């Protein structure tokens, strides 16, 4: 059987193809962060207090310059990962060795590929989480603006899908906005847990040389290193699952929003009108405008949750230490994040362009929708609640002619249709955006200093 020589040994061609899996393809998303991680590791090695020095300062500069060159190639989609490389890590090492000779062979000192993929995925997740937060706050802003614009438009509030009490379009829209703001808290929690540098674990058990894990962490702009080197490795999969769990919460909010749109744009409701450009037609029925975007968002929520559960299943029975099963988590991780971000990006402009049918919303009110409000008014006049409850139940005919707009105007307490605090939504949204700006600024500053060039590269 044919064999192929690689950096880590001669491997049967079929085994090489099987074990490399989709890494050759997926790892293109990790080229830049792998180079950044390598730059930090080599910079740490250059400062390690050993004699003779493992890497001289002049050699460190050569390696970093070579890594910056690779980053530039990657940004132009010109850096190639070969099957013989197996992954981005060995592709970068091969390229540096071809360029720098024996110096390129030194860069893997005191680390393993487990180390590299762990830090690569954390750096990748850092940027992906920040981008997701940006996109989530954009949708929050759109929903908040939609709610404020239609704050006083009455809308039947439903329980069990049946008419319940007077509500408003403003209340409906900002309920979804607040759900996403809470999802941002979950994303930030995931970001903070992810913001630990695992480098220095090597093959899970540390190394017999005086590496400086704190320095490496600082060079990469992490908040701190993971402490236990074995857990640094064991956190693989767990961390991906935590991030995907946060993503699945976002998708849960999006799925419920999409479901509402599908219901309330039905002709039987006609409360909202989706923009035509966000609908698709039928291949046989000329009149159709289908809410395919909403249906796909709903379906993709299941895909993201499946990715989270897939990672969980991969690691729940894994013994301590690295196991190759983790390779299968990468695709699920990347797909779950990409799907969530795509759904956020498509939903925001759809909501922004949606039209509100005020007449249909008001026509949707029947007298019984006012039953609870009227019972509470009787309580305010001195009647015990249960007596008021039964009185209204037996005299629903008295509810004829109540104005829905007037009914919601009476609801002024905190968070009610006419008690919505618009500064609350504005403030929480601004706080998330500021967090994203500060974290990205700090990371870019750290990487720019590390690479000796402005990052991101132009």
Q: Are 236 and 114 in contact (CB under 8 A)?
A: yes
Tally of CB atoms within 10 A around 197: 27
Structure confidence by residue, pLDDT tens digits, 412-437: 999 999 999 999 999 999 999 999 99
Task: Report residue 394: phi and psi, to 5°.
Answer: -90, -5
What does the mean pLDDT of the chain come to?
Answer: 95
16 has pLDDT over 80: no
pLDDT greater at residue 393 or residue 322: 393
Q: Are 446 and 36 in contact (CB under 8 A)?
A: no
pLDDT, position 163: 97
| Average pLDDT score over residue span 290-305 | 97
Orientation angle between helical segments 113-149 and 88-100, nearest 10 degrees: 120
11 has pLDDT over 90: no
| Average pLDDT score over residue span 222-248 | 97
pLDDT level of residue 8 (50, 70, 90 thresholds) = low
Distances (CA, A) of 448 to 183, 194, 220, 404: 31, 21, 10, 59
pLDDT, position 98: 95
Tally of CB atoms within 10 A around 224: 12
Strands 196-197 and 162-168, sheet pairing: unpaired
13 has pLDDT over 90: no
User: In the annotation, is 160 catalytic?
Assistant: yes
400 has pLDDT over 90: yes
Q: What share of the chain is helix, strand, coil (3-state, %, to 5)?
A: 65, 5, 25
User: In the annotation, is 255 catalytic?
Assistant: no
pLDDT, position 19: 75
Structure confidence by residue, pLDDT tens digits, 105-153: 999 999 998 999 999 999 999 999 999 999 999 999 999 999 999 999 9
For the chain, what percent of residues have pLDDT higher than 90?
90
| Average pLDDT score over residue span 260-266 | 97
Q: Give residue for tokens 């968002």.
A: 297
Strands 154-159 and 9-12, sheet pairing: unpaired
168 has pLDDT over 70: yes
Structure confidence by residue, pLDDT tens digits, 182-218: 999 999 999 999 999 999 999 899 999 999 999 999 9
314 has pLDDT over 90: yes
Q: What SS3 class is residue 157?
A: strand
440 has pLDDT over 70: yes
438 CB contacts (<8 Å, ≥6 apart)? Answer: none
356 has pLDDT over 90: yes
Distance of CA 88 to the CA centre of its chain: 23
Distance from first CA to last CA of the chain, Å, rounded?
A: 46
Which residue is catalytic, options 58, 160, 227, 397? 160
Q: What SS3 class is residue 216?
A: helix
pLDDT, position 10: 77
Which residue is catalytic, options 43, 227, 253, 282? 282
Structure confidence by residue, pLDDT tens digits, 60-118: 999 999 999 999 999 999 999 998 888 999 999 999 999 999 999 999 999 998 999 99
């Amino acid at each position: 059987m044919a064999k192929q020589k690689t950096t880590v040994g001669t491997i049967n061609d079929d085994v090489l193809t099987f074990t490399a899996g989709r890494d050759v393809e997926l790892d293109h998303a990790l080229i830049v962060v792998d180079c950044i991680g390598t730059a930090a590791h080599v910079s740490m090695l250059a400062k390690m207090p050993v004699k003779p020095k493992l890497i001289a300062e002049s050699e460190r500069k050569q390696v970093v310059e070579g890594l910056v060159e690779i980053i530039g190639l990657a940004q132009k989609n010109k850096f190639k990962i070969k099957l013989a490389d197996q992954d981005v890590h060995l592709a970068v090492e091969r390229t540096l060795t071809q360029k720098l000779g024996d110096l390129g062979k030194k860069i893997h000192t005191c680390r393993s590929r487990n180390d590299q993929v762990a830090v690569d995925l954390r750096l990748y997740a850092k940027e992906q989480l920040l981008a997701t937060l940006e996109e989530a706050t954009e949708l929050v802003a759109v929903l908040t603006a939609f709610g404020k614009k239609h704050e006083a438009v009455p809308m039947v509030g439903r329980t069990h899908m049946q008419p319940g009490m007077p509500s408003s379009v403003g209340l409906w829209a900002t309920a979804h906005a607040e759900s996403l703001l809470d999802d941002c808290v979950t994303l930030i929690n995931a970001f903070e847990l992810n913001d630990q540098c695992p480098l220095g674990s090597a093959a899970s058990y540390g190394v017999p040389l005086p590496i400086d894990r704190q320095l490496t962490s600082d060079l990469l702009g992490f908040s701190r290193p993971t402490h236990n080197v074995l857990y640094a490795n064991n956190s693989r999969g767990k961390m991906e699952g935590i991030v995907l769990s946060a993503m699945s919460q976002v998708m849960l909010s999006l799925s419920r929003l999409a479901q509402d749109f599908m219901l309330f744009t039905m002709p039987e409701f006609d409360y909202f009108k989706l923009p035509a450009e966000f609908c698709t037609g039928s291949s046989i029925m000329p009149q159709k405008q289908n809410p395919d975007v909403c249906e796909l968002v709903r379906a993709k929520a299941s895909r993201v949750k499946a990715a989270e559960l897939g990672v969980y299943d991969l690691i729940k029975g894994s013994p301590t230490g690295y196991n190759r099963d983790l390779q299968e988590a990468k695709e699920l991780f990347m797909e779950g994040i990409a799907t969530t971000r795509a759904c956020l990006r498509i939903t925001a402009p759809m909501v922004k362009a949606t039209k509100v049918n005020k007449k249909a919303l008001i026509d949707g009110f029947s007298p019984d929708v006012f039953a609870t409000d009227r019972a509470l008014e009787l309580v305010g006049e001195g009647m015990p609640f249960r007596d008021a409850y039964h009185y209204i139940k037996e005299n629903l005919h008295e509810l004829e002619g109540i104005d829905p707009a007037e009914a919601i105007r009476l609801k002024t307490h905190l968070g009610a249709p006419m008690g919505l605090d618009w500064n609350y939504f504005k403030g929480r949204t601004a706080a998330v955006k500021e967090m994203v700006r500060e974290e990205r600024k700090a990371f870019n500053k750290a990487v720019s200093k590390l690479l000796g060039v402005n990052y991101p590269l132009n």
